[in-house]
Amino acid sequence: MNRPSLCIHPLYLSVPTVVELVRRRGVARCIDAIARNIEADFLRWVDFDKSARVANHSRDGVIELMPVSDDTAYSFKYVNGHPKNTALGLSTVMAFGVLADVATGTPLLLSELTLTTALRTAATSALAARALARGESRVMALIGNGAQSEFQALAFQHLVGIDTVRLFDMDSAATAKLMANLAGSGLKVQACASTREAVRGADIVTTVTADKTYATIITPDMLEPGMHINAVGGDCPGKTELAAAVLEAAKVFVEFAPQSRVEGDIQQMPADFAVTELWEVLSGLRTGRDSNEQVTVFDSVGFALEDYSALRFMYEAAQQDGVGERLALIPALADPKNLFGVLSREGCSVAAPAPTLALPQVDERSDRLQSAS
Amino acid sequence: MNRPSLCIHPLYLSVPTVVELVRRRGVARCIDAIARNIEADFLRWVDFDKSARVANHSRDGVIELMPVSDDTAYSFKYVNGHPKNTALGLSTVMAFGVLADVATGTPLLLSELTLTTALRTAATSALAARALARGESRVMALIGNGAQSEFQALAFQHLVGIDTVRLFDMDSAATAKLMANLAGSGLKVQACASTREAVRGADIVTTVTADKTYATIITPDMLEPGMHINAVGGDCPGKTELAAAVLEAAKVFVEFAPQSRVEGDIQQMPADFAVTELWEVLSGLRTGRDSNEQVTVFDSVGFALEDYSALRFMYEAAQQDGVGERLALIPALADPKNLFGVLSREGCSVAAPAPTLALPQVDERSDRLQSAS
């Protein structure tokens, strides 16, 4: 009963802490580092215990939990999707997540993931486009100019080589906001009067709209040979962005097929509709685009493994910077069988930080950035 | 773009905060209040979006997420189960949880749940025993004297009327610890040399052991007419406490059958093995025990709704006491579509507490306690 108190105070990264961490590195460098983690983790796809996320749907939205683990680390994300929230001055998507030690179940990190989700979604989109879009892609249409759009634009600029973005949103104030935020980025930015106008002549089309409805943002008549469509916003049952005929006309790639068939744009298609998982392309098991004329679609819904990759970036970056707070979230027991003892004055011992878990190394050098961030 | 910053700083209840909250009320009163919440929530069973918990299994344990929601509130618990942790000076079970607003997805509360899980498990056990055990039950065998055992003993003393507990654990130090912690409780406490000795003559048998193995703590020859078995420790695949013949000889009650058939002692039984869900008994839809001679088994695994009930107790008790901290977990955006703006110095605005969600009233009067706590 006189064992030393091993203590479980997970590291806590608040929004201000993550903001500072990202500002210190720059958005593009963070997206690049997360994209490397995602690529490295997708390349060991079979090592992970994967499951479709657990969704609780309600009238105006959904709350989801997204767990994943390998032999070393476990992560989950809490994330909501409530399109009407903007009218209340609240974000459509709010998220936080946890990284834990698989060997003991100890939570190691609690982090904000609202900002981080935008980074990792952009990182995943750029990673997919690098594997699927034509190499000479320079012009991107960006349909939906809300919370995710700046991150998508910067990711495609720095990781894919896009130099021009053509914008459309039904809310012109959102487009104005995006243009203001991209001022000084080096991107050529063009506001367009319609989706059709924005898409015309684009090498890549990114759709990142938020309505929880069966929308048809992109119709087959807008397709041009060799186009790559990065469909980000169709990501839960009843929420799509592409006409079924667009999917029929394209080669379609997804993250994790069992989840995408429920949540992605392919929810409109038969259960045996042919898709290729991105990890298969990254690992060379299957081909990406088959020709320069083929239309490719990345039907992205967001997969738990991407959050795992992002959380381990945040965990290691915070340790490098020596930032973050500690939460007294788990009792520190001198005798683990004496939980009741925490209720005595003596039992409530002072606790030290949780042990640090060694994760695969992150290389933060920016040699893959297309330009300085 | 000049909307006021609505802010999302969920309430945070650390271990020390929950310890103080429980000490202020007393353990028995907290268990009683949580049991009332559980009963009230079980009586509106059909209102909840329920699912079996999501488990990630590894060599030495499991990490689980347990979500549940109604039209108003959403909750989930993170909980691990690592039997070997005690050898490392860590708890077998560590937990925390979140309560959120269904209408907007806003997280309202992050709370420790290690201590709280022990309270809610004991509350559920006592609630079930009050519905299923013989009314004159006074003697309880308590097999497994670890972290949960004091809470079980006090719950059965104050909510069920038990006056004598007969203890056994393979680790005699655990039994000594339990006896020390129960000194002054008013319970007659007897240490026994074996499970068989502890069980003999008991009205209620509570098994709360931690080994992740197919154990047979209770065998059919130990059964006595009218006994109620409160089987708490058999709660994940490969972890059982009762011989199959015990289940065959008894009327078996569970929390949520789809989860219990995977995790409970009934995982040993055929898929069509007859069980009754506790809420059906509480609501009068089905009978509990059919005679004073019948053996009843509550094959408890722990269900997400019990954590929901416990979290709303903690949420309201903390508000009554005016305790808890605030976490800057979700960005507060003047313009919800301008997430990127948090990266500017101006965007990182000072945030206020999350809005308070009105939940069904908790009545903390202790008129159902069998004696003062």
Size of interface A-B (CB pairs under 8 A): 259
Q: How far apart (Å, rounded) are the C-alpha atoms in residues B196 and B271?
A: 30
Tell me if residue A32 is catalytic.
no
For residue A262, which of A228, A240, A236 has the smallest C-alpha distance? A236
B-chain residues near A122 (CB < 8 A): none
Q: Complex ipTM, two decimals?
A: 0.88
A-chain residues near B333 (CB < 8 A): 89, 91
Q: How far apart (Å, rounded) are the C-alpha atoms in residues B271 and A35?
A: 45
Identity of the residue in B82, B89, B92 whose CB atom sits nearest the CB atom of A6: B89
Q: Which of A32, A70, A169, A235 is catalytic?
A: A235
Q: How far apart (Å, rounded) are the C-alpha atoms in residues A123 and A232?
A: 12
The pLDDT profile of chain A, 373 residues, written as one tens digit per residue, is 333 344 578 999 999 999 999 999 999 999 999 999 999 999 999 999 998 789 999 999 999 999 999 999 999 999 999 988 888 878 888 999 999 999 999 999 999 999 999 999 999 999 999 999 999 999 999 999 999 999 999 999 999 999 999 999 999 999 999 999 999 999 999 999 999 999 999 999 999 987 656 678 999 999 999 999 999 987 777 878 999 999 999 999 999 999 999 989 999 999 999 999 999 999 999 999 999 999 999 999 999 999 999 999 999 999 999 999 999 999 878 788 899 998 886 544 445 455 566 665 444 444 445 443 3
Q: Are B29 and B369 in contact (CB under 8 A)?
A: yes
Cβ of A16 within 8 Å of Cβ of B328? The answer is yes
Give me the residue label for tokens 């929420």. A239
Chain segment A94-152, per-residue pLDDT in tens: 999 999 999 999 999 999 999 999 999 999 999 999 999 999 999 999 999 999 999 99
Q: Read off the pTM.
A: 0.89
B-chain residues near A338 (CB < 8 A): 147, 177, 181
Cβ of B335 within 8 Å of Cβ of A181? The answer is no
Strand partners, A76: A67, A98
Identity of the residue in B65, B103, B105 whose CB atom sits nearest the CB atom of A67: B65
Q: Is B72 exposed, middle or buried (0-12, 13-18, 19+ CB in 10 A)?
A: middle
Q: How far apart (Å, rounded) are the C-alpha atoms in residues B362 and B21?
A: 15
Cβ of A330 within 8 Å of Cβ of B104? The answer is no
Strand partners, A251: A296
Q: End-to-end CA distance of chain A, in Å?
A: 55
Q: In order of start, what are the domains of chain B with their CATH numbers?
A: 11-115+305-343 (3.30.1780.10), 133-302 (3.40.50.720)
Q: How far apart (Å, rounded) are the C-alpha atoms in residues A12 and A8?
A: 12
Q: Are A62 and A71 in contact (CB under 8 A)?
A: no
Q: Taking CA A233 as the corner, what is the angle to CA A230 and CA A237, rounded to the nearest 5 degrees?
A: 125
Which distant-in-sequence residues (6+ apart) come within 8 Å of B105 by Cβ?
A: A61, A62, A63, A80, A81, A82, A85, A94, B74
Cβ of B330 within 8 Å of Cβ of A94? The answer is yes
Q: Are B175 and B48 in contact (CB under 8 A)?
A: no
Give me the residue label for tokens 């060799």. A226
For residue A106, which of A330, A351, A305, A364 has the smallest C-alpha distance? A330
The CB density around residue B183, as the number of other CB atoms within 10 Å, is 8
Q: How far is A14 from chain B (nearest CA, A)?
A: 5
Which distant-in-sequence residues (6+ apart) come within 8 Å of A271 by Cβ?
A: A261
Q: How far apart (Å, rounded) are the C-alpha atoms in residues B229 and B297?
A: 5
Q: Is A1 exposed, middle or buried (0-12, 13-18, 19+ CB in 10 A)?
A: exposed
Collapsing DSSP to helix, strand or coil, B179 comes out as: helix
DSSP codes joined into one string, A129-152: HHHHS-TT--EEEEE--STTHHHH
Chain segment B81-99, per-residue pLDDT in tens: 998 888 887 888 899 999 9
Q: Are A348 and B16 in contact (CB under 8 A)?
A: yes
Cβ of A88 within 8 Å of Cβ of B78? The answer is no
Q: Taking CA B143 as the corner, what is the angle to CA B139 and CA B144, rounded to the nearest 5 degrees?
A: 140
Cβ of B343 within 8 Å of Cβ of A23? The answer is yes
